[in-house]
Amino acid sequence: MQNVLIVCAAGMTSSVLVTYFREYVREHPELEYKVGSCASNQIVAHISRADIVLVSPHLGYMVNDLKKEYPDKRFYLIPAEAYADRNMETIISQMNRKEDPEVYRKNGLIVKLASFANTSKELSAISSAMTNLMVVLVTGSVFTLLLNLPWTAAAELIKGTMIEEMLLLGTDMTINIMSVYTVFLIGYYYAEYFNVSSPHAGINAVICFLLVICSPGLDLRNGLIEMTYLGSKGVFCAIFTGIISVRLYASMHHLGQELFENLRNIPESIYQSFVSLIPTLISMVFFLIITSVFGHYFHASFPEWMYRELQDRIAAFAGDNIILLLVIILLTQVLWFFGIHGGSVVGAVTNPILESLSFENLTAFRTGLPLPHIINRQFRLLTTFGGAGSTLPLCFLMAFMAKSQRMKRLGKTALPMGIFFINEPVIFGLPIIFNPLMMVPFILIPMVSLFVTWVLMKMEILPYVIGFDIPWTTPPLISGMIQGGWRLAVWQLIVMAVQTFIWYPFFKVQDNKYLKEENSDDLPKGTA
């Protein structure tokens, strides 16, 4: 029995592929495979149990680096067409090859940057933390939404009651201390790369974070935790603290092992607690020094200084800079065109920044203040339907208006998945990658849609996006209603209709091309 791990960017498409793989294995008892899936930033946690790793085509740039890092594993790049069609016969045939061809032999600049963004330990840890933070943010968003119902009668009904107190407490213990959860998760996932105890490294990160957010003063014993930086304002500090504290913890871990070597036979959890003592103490001393230095010489806590010097400036620059956002979208779409997962590559750098802008909007909304930022992470999703390139309107056209069998079948397969923002079948099955005809709307549509939306928000015709951290798979209209009420939901409907008209001529040309090929194949040999 061989264990197979299928890897894609977010773990969504690969989980669908797992279902087809298992069904194929059941139909062919001679095949002895046990299969699972994961996202690209979860490879470290799962690869030890895998014999064979199947990498989705848009992550092909990672294969060579993964082979070097895990030489005892067998890696295979799933062919793009088989990935889109879920053709198990082709995929398993690929696994039976002795050697998988290295598609990315030439390490160009784009490939190197893409590989760095997805294999960087720091960026992967931050990405994993933000992904798993969603449960905190979604539940906190629900409490905030209930506290700010758009119906006056309902709001007045709960005002001053125990229900309001419960909702406030629910918000306080989720969104308002999100930086604590962030630093723990970063510490936890970053520790996996250093073969040290993740729970202890996460706890160490929380301790160090609480130390550096203390209010400064000559007598640090009288310092108080600045509650402001437990929430959205402390996110950048949490990221910094999580990375640095684990680096210190891992570098000093061997001292704890040497000191408590004679306790190796006690239960593992207790042994790891003893081993963590030395690295935790050293980490605490380091961050106590930081707190003291900033308190004495800058008369500010470290997160206050960081927010003022870094986060505040980035927020002011990125929160209303449509040109910067359009450049980000352009780079994302171009990478997709070349078969590289643009969202994963670019998002590894930009998502923490955009997420912090969402936090600030949500905090302002909760306190009744004007929303500070037009642009945040949810703003990008407001006019994107079906995944990168906004391909959901294209799926509707293929499913209901295509004349070629190829596009009709693909449309019916891709449409249900596209509603929930999974569009790899379209990107690789149509295909959109390396297809100059489809490149034009694929890049143009999201950029124009976001620019027009930004202009309307700037003119105060549309409301700003509140920043509720709803799952990225939330269907359109529902997401618009949650993020800004009926006006954003109606706007999404208008945008989707306009995008359908933009997609139509390109869809028609591609459909006619496939129809001509199909009719040509149907002609008997010798027919002119």
The 3-class SS string of 382-393 reads HCCCCCCCCCHH
Token pair 């957010």: residue: 213
Task: Provide the pLDDT for residue 113.
Answer: 58
Residues 354 and 468 in one domain: yes
Tokens of 177: 């201390």
Q: Give the pLDDT mean for 292-314.
A: 76
- For residue 516, is it within any domain? yes
At 28 the three-state DSSP class reads coil
**237 pLDDT exceeds 60?**
yes
**Number of compact structural domains in the chain:** 3
Residues 372 and 511 in one domain: yes
- For residue 372, is it within any domain? yes
- For residue 528, is it within any domain? no
First vs last Cα of the chain: how many Å apart?
53
Q: Give the number of other CB atoms < 10 A from CB of residue 300.
A: 17
Radius of gyration for the chain, computed over Cα atoms and rounded to the nearest angstrom: 26
**232 pLDDT exceeds 60?**
yes
Exposed, middle or buried, 120 (CB in 10 Å: 0-12/13-18/19+)?
A: middle
Q: Which domain CATH number covers 85?
A: 3.40.50.2300
Band (11; pLDDT cuts 50, 70, 90): confident
Band (117; pLDDT cuts 50, 70, 90): low
Residues 327 and 383 in one domain: yes
Residues 231 and 145 in one domain: yes
Choose one of 259, 274, 309: the last residue of a domain: 309
Task: Provide the pLDDT for residue 413.
Answer: 85
List the domain range (segments joined by +) for residue 85.
2-107
Is 371 within 8 Å of 485 (Cβ atoms)? Answer: no
Is 209 within 8 Å of 235 (Cβ atoms)? Answer: no
Among residues 128, 54, 118, 117, which one has the least CA distance to residue 90?
54
